[in-house]
Chains A and B, each alone.
Chain A
Amino acid sequence: MIDLDKLRNTAAETVSRDDVKHLVGWKKGTFGYRVAPCVIENAEEAESLVFSPLCAANLATYITLPEKLPVPKGEQPDDRKTALMVKGCDSRAVVQMLVEQGIDRDQVVIIGCSCQGVVDLQKVEEKFPEPLDTVEAEWKEDKIVFKLPDGEEEVARDEVLADNCLICRYPNPVIADVSLGSEVEPAKDGEDSSVKEIEDLSLDDRWEFWEKEFSNCIRCYSCRNVCPMCYCDDCVMDRLNPAWIYRSVNYSENTVFNLSRAFHLVGRCVDCGECERVCPMGLPLGKLNRKLAREVREKYEYEPGLDPEEKPFQASYRPDDQEDFIL
């Protein structure tokens, strides 16, 4: 648990610094279980910040999301820092951006928040349908307490946590300028058993599984836009000439889109689960990413987003890399 007053004070102090432009945090949403990412610019606004099991959004995305407009003649670019609150997975995304030199370390001020896992709204809604009134939630030992309009309800954490949180290996921020909250134990079993379930299917069944899922994709690009590691200025999906991937929404093009994205994330995905959370069509994208992350971990002993001094996975050839699986 993180003391909210401490969090707000830290945020207020940080955002008041001359070298900080704004701070990205979480605030209460407009209804039900929702929490919204927010950008605050002064100490007063820090009062609206929250940190709870509902704070699923990975704020690392907001470092690179703002569009860079041309600076008017005679004016200097605003190069003040972005401060942001990070959970364990969010912090790994920041580290991975540093590894890739997508951002500079002095561009960000990181407020690390130890995290006991965020909830999967669908799992919560199955237990308690979403009310109109805003609901607060908090961690309490191995439970999560929801303050519903009709009173408090306690649920075992494991029953409502997001799939990626159930197997979280890094609940504590791996990089931070200020750290809040006491250390959280990582999950005992860091493997996603549902990946194994798909691997155990026959080739035809696996094909059928993904064909059904990819056919549902509406190509709204929520997964791409929410992904902290999808920060290219010019995305290949938006290219028209040549159009590497047609915009037609059908199984074939959708498969190319989803697989291209998965392969662009090999050795980069930090398993924050955002792609899966935001997908309006419920595609199990995490399974794809976790499968590839496991391959990288087991075959190359590489885990992304842990050490800013590390080389990117695809640029880190080692003579002692395993070779037994190469054809």
Chain B
Amino acid sequence: MSEKILNKDKWSDFVSNVASSKQVWTMTGDDTVTFTPCAEAEEAPGKVLNATVPPKNVVFPQTETLFRFMFGQLEAELPEEAQEAVVLGLRPCDARAMNIVDDLFSWDEEDTYYQDKRQKTTLVGLACNEPGINCFCTSLEGSPASTEGLDVIMADLGEKYYLQAITDKGDKLLADVSGQLEDASDNDKKAFQELAEAAEGKIKRGIDASGIPEGLPNLWEHELWQKVSEACLGCGACTYLCPTCHCFDIQDELEGFKGRRCRMWDSCMYGEYTLHASGHNPRPTRRERTRNRINHKYNYYVEKFDKIACVGCGRCINQCPVNIDILNILSKVKEAL
């Protein structure tokens, strides 16, 4: 697999070069950062720790048209096929998250909407040199320079980036846009490995997840759920900003005689999420909803796909308005086991 060097002053040329044949998604925004398509980028990535909203929207848009229809007509109009896309500068945790969610979208049926975009997307990750205070990827088989799910990994070596292709898809991308790239030396590779090792040592928080998936079913009625959910506002910030949360709702939206069926992100923290047509709600309070959020990530998903559906990106901890801290919940779970 090829190993290349990209000087930072050539970043914008590099982005334009990639964007000439593919849709490019990069982090944009000042205070709140999101991944958005762009034709050119002025700033090289790495300034912010991570995007506020994870790049799951590239393959799983918050609102997605499944088909359009017209009253009185039997034929539905399908949306256009996805374009080839490249996500530049996503963090390794978010790429791991996509790998985890892939299983769900190809489980009983191939989800063609998701898979079409996923297969056409190349992920160029940026290793973390300075993890945040609530990053805990190392507790969940990840690391600041994990290559899992990535096609290319980049590392910030100061004035330049080191790029290493991980998959054939990544190799092809680097070959296609070789204009701005130079060959990497052994020293560059060594510098990357040293940075990766140093970054791993900077992770401060964590949890030993062993025993949690098997233990959770026994804690179903434990009093801890009441305690950890009492401050919860029942908003969707933790789930919408989670790179592995993938729940969606499907609704029809009408405009005159035209309509579209679309799917949109949904959140298990909403009361309406499990509300039955009868008025009965099997998860009537925030206690059950919080319990479900933890169980889905650390129990149900493990049972079904043998993977914990959490990558330790820390977004839910950082963004919760009332300091509901998943590591705090998990340590209470460990205590109760």
Does the CB pair B321–A222 fall under 8 Å?
A: yes
Interface 9-mer from A104-112, A246-254, A301-309? A246-254
Bound complex: CA A37 to CA B34 (Å): 29
Residues from chain B with Cβ under 8 Å of A131 in the complex: 133
Partner of A220 from B31, B251, B267, B323 at Cβ < 8 Å: B267
Residues from chain A with Cβ under 8 Å of B317 in the complex: 30-31
Number of contact residues on A: which range applies?
35 or more
A327 in the interface (beta carbon within 8 A): no
Q: Shortest distance in angstroms between A10's beta carbon and chain B's nearest beta carbon?
A: 21
Does the CB pair B262–A248 fall under 8 Å?
A: yes
A77 in the interface (beta carbon within 8 A): no
Does the CB pair B133–A280 fall under 8 Å?
A: no
Q: How many residues of B contact A (CB 8 A)?
A: 43
Interface 9-mer from B14-22, B99-107, B227-235? B227-235
Determine chain B's interface SS by DSSP, over half rule: loop
Given the known interface contacts A31-B134, A218-B240, A280-B237, the answer about A69 and B284 at a Cβ–Cβ threshold of 8 Å is yes
Given the known interface contacts A66-B285, A249-B62, A249-B264, the answer about A57 and B322 at a Cβ–Cβ threshold of 8 Å is yes
> Interface digits, B196-209 against A, CB 8 Å rule (1 contact, 0 not)?
00000000110000
Given the known interface contacts A248-B264, A249-B63, the answer about A280 and B52 at a Cβ–Cβ threshold of 8 Å is yes
Does the CB pair B204–A248 fall under 8 Å?
A: no
B142 in the interface (beta carbon within 8 A): no
Q: Shortest distance in angstroms between B323's beta carbon and chain A's nearest beta carbon?
A: 4
Nearest chain-A residue to B273 (Cβ)? Answer: A238
Does the CB pair A282–B133 fall under 8 Å?
A: no
> Interface digits, A171-192 against B, CB 8 Å rule (1 contact, 0 not)?
0000000000000000000000
Does the CB pair B237–A132 fall under 8 Å?
A: no
Does the CB pair A216–B32 fall under 8 Å?
A: yes
> Interface digits, A269-304 against B, CB 8 Å rule (1 contact, 0 not)?
000001001101110000000000000000000000
Name A residues whose Cβ lies closer than 8 Å to a Cβ of B. 29-32, 34-39, 57, 61, 65-67, 69, 122, 130-132, 216, 218-222, 224-226, 238, 240, 243, 246-250, 274, 277-278, 280-282
Q: Can you list 24 A-B contacts (CB < 8 A)? A: A29-B325, A30-B317, A31-B134, A31-B205, A31-B317, A37-B230, A37-B322, A57-B322, A65-B234, A220-B235, A220-B237, A221-B236, A222-B235, A222-B236, A224-B235, A225-B233, A226-B235, A238-B272, A243-B251, A246-B251, A248-B63, A248-B253, A249-B62, A250-B63
